[in-house]
Structure 1
Amino acid sequence: MNDWRDTRLGEPREVRLPSGTVRYHDRGSGPIIVFAHGYLVNANLWRKVVPALAQDFRCIAPDLPLGSHTVPMRRDADLSPPGIARVLADLLEALDLRDVTLVGNDSGGAYSQLVAVHHPERLGRLVLSSCETPEDTWPPTPGGFGLLKATAANPLTYRALYQVLRVPRTWRWHNTYGWLAKYPIEAEAMNSYVRPVIDRADIRVDGRKAIGAVSERYVQDAAHRLVREAPVPIHFVWAAEDRVFPLDHARRYAADLDAKLHTVADSYTYVSEDQPEATARLIASCATA
Structure 2
Amino acid sequence: MRDRPATNGRPDWVSDEMYPFESRFHETSSGHHLHYIDEGSGSPIVFVHGNPAWSFEFRHLIVELRTEHRCVAADHLGFGLSTRSDRNEDHHPSAHAERFEEFVLDLDLRDVTLYMNDWGGPIGLDFARKHPDRVKNLIIANTWCWPVSGDRHFRFFSKMMASPLGRYLITRRNYFVKGVMPRAVADRKTLTPEVMAHYRNALPDPASRAACAALPGYIVDAADWLGSIWRDRAAFSDKPTLLLWGSKDIAFRLKELERWKSAMQNYEAHVFDDGGHFVAEEIPHRILPLIRELLSR
**Residue 77 of structure 2 contacts residue 211 of structure 2 at CA under 8 Å; is this kept in 1?**
yes
Find the aligned partners of 2:20 and 2:227 in 1 and give their Cα distance. Answer: 33
2:7 alignment counterpart: none
**Residue 237 of structure 2 contacts residue 266 of structure 2 at CA under 8 Å; is this kept in 1?**
no
| TM-score of the two chains, using structure 2 as the length reference | 0.79
1:192 alignment counterpart: 198
Q: Decide which moves more: 55-64 or 261-270.
A: 261-270
Q: Decide which moves more: 128-137 or 103-112.
A: 128-137
Displacement of 1:38 after TM fit? 0.5
**Residue 183 of structure 1 contacts residue 274 of structure 1 at CA under 8 Å; is this kept in 2?**
no
Structure 1 segment 12-161 matched on structure 2, within 5 A: 12-19=23-30, 20-73=32-85, 75=87, 78-134=90-146, 136=148, 141=153, 145-146=157-158, 149-151=161-163, 158-161=167-170
Q: Decide which moves more: 87-96 or 36-45.
A: 87-96
Find the aligned partners of 2:65 and 2:254 in 1 and give their Cα distance. Answer: 25
1:225 alignment counterpart: 232
Displacement of 1:139 after TM fit? 11
**Residue 237 of structure 2 contacts residue 265 of structure 2 at CA under 8 Å; is this kept in 1?**
no
Structure 1 segment 235-246 matched on structure 2, within 5 A: 235-246=242-253
Could you say which structure has the greater relative contact order, defined with CA pairs below 8 angstroms and 6 or more residues apart?
1
1:207 alignment counterpart: 212
Find the aligned partners of 1:220 and 1:77 in 2 and give their Cα distance. Answer: 19
Please list every run of 5 or more consecutive structure 1 residues that lacks an aligned counterpart in the other structure. none
Q: Decide which moves more: 136-145 or 210-219.
A: 136-145
Aligned residue identity for 1:164: R
Find the aligned partners of 1:130 and 1:6 in 2 and give their Cα distance. Answer: 28
What CA RMSD, in Å, does the superposition of the two structures yield over aligned residues?
3.4
Aligned residue identity for 2:201: R
Number of corresponding residues: 281
Displacement of 1:90 after TM fit? 1.0
Displacement of 1:225 after TM fit? 1.6
Find the aligned partners of 1:277 and 1:229 in 2 and give their Cα distance. Answer: 27
Identity of aligned residues (%): 23
Please list every run of 5 or more consecutive structure 2 residues that lacks an aligned counterpart in the other structure. 1-10
Structure 1 segment 146-185 matched on structure 2, within 5 A: 146=158, 149-151=161-163, 158-165=167-174, 171=178, 173=179, 175-184=180-189, 185=191
* 2:290 pairs with 1:285: no
Find the aligned partners of 2:14 and 2:262 in 1 and give their Cα distance. Answer: 40
Cα gap change, 1:2 to 1:105, in 2 (>3 Å): farther
